[in-house]
Amino acid sequence: MIKFLMGVIIGILIFFFFYFGGGKTVKKVGEGLTDSGKKMEVMEEMIKKEKGEVEKDVKKKIFKEEKGATKKVQ
């Protein structure tokens, strides 16, 4: 049922795109999606890089705390 409703909604959207602007409107929407996709790829790379750096820092802090705790116990 959900697939059917999604198909109907997408069909209606495609109909309005062609009815109100033809291929020009569809082309503009496609270009916008392409630009958004490129921006998202750049953001993903930045996030992966930042995640790696934060992960390294956290691991360093955890190991320092563990070493400090074991020295105090002994």
pLDDT of residue 73 exceeding 60: no
Q: Which tokens hold the place of 19?
A: 């009815």
pLDDT in tens, 48-68: 889 888 888 888 888 777 766
* Domain spans, the chain: 23-74
DSSP-derived secondary structure for 19-43: HHHTHHHHHHHHHHHHHHHHHHHHH
Instruction: Please indicate, yes or no, whether the overall pTM of this predicted structure exceeds 0.85.
Output: no
Note whether 18 and 26 are within 8 A (CB).
yes
